[in-house]
Structure 1
């Protein structure tokens, strides 16, 4: 079985990593696919398809994960107001931040903050890189799909029926 074309092309992978690094360095900024494609030097469609193929998630979902991860760290490690954290991590409104945060993590920002303060002393001997990886939000399902599943009362993705 051969590898996918995006993985085989080392130059394209370097370009995708460049865009991913830019998102990591400035996750609070707006990163539409057009801007990311420009950083990578490829078309928008090719970038979106190749990014998902190379990293397993679409670029927007990756950016949401980074923003939520940064917000969780700020909630645990600082006493900044939640509103400031929302705007500092790139959200345009507090409502969108709170709703998306809850959809992804299953908890409100204030619940994460209070739980983080209680658990801070328990993680004293765990290396920071391990603790960060364990706290990384799992965003393998689109936020809109999670909302649809919650409305239907299911936690499992809807099964596609095959038509004979």
Structure 2
């Protein structure tokens, strides 16, 4: 997934590649990485997009499609939900800080800019619109 984060990686494909059932793969992946496979993939795509915004002159549309998004609108919305900034705002901020960032090793910079996806984007929206969704009720044994 890391080497080809621009590709589609449904759990079915990952499980087949690993030679295990989908349910087993999803459980094992979450146990190992702390997040489900889809959230992990989102992290990698946003991380790569952030690097391209900072280090290249590619248009935001080119970056969106190069990092695996099928829609510019979806890319922009999820990018903003995860980072708190639009892709263009992120680019402007990165360019303004470029002289300072030139002295930081790329691996450290990438780790520092890695988005934290301990919660799903939809869960973030749910918290923002608190009264829009009913809270789930857990059964007590």
Aligned to 1:46: 24
The alpha carbon displacement at 1:160 in A equals 7.5
- Alignment gaps of 5+ in structure 1: 1-22
Aligned residues: 138
Distance 1:83 1:54, change over 3 A: same
Aligned to 1:148: 126
2:61 equivalent to 1:83? yes
The alpha carbon displacement at 1:125 in A equals 1.8
Q: Which has the higher contact order (CA 8 A, sep 6+)?
A: 2
Aligned to 2:104: 126
The 1-side partners of 2:62 and 2:112 are apart by 25
Distance 1:36 1:162, change over 3 A: closer
- Map 1:97-136 → 2, pairs under 5 A: 97-136=75-114
- Per-residue deviation, residues 30-70 of structure 1 (Å, max 9, x unmatched): 00000000111100000001100111110000000000000
Question: TM-score by structure 1 length?
Answer: 0.79
The alpha carbon displacement at 1:128 in A equals 1.4
The 2-side partners of 1:152 and 1:114 are apart by 32
The 1-side partners of 2:61 and 2:3 are apart by 21
Root-mean-square deviation (CA, aligned residues, Å) is: 1.9
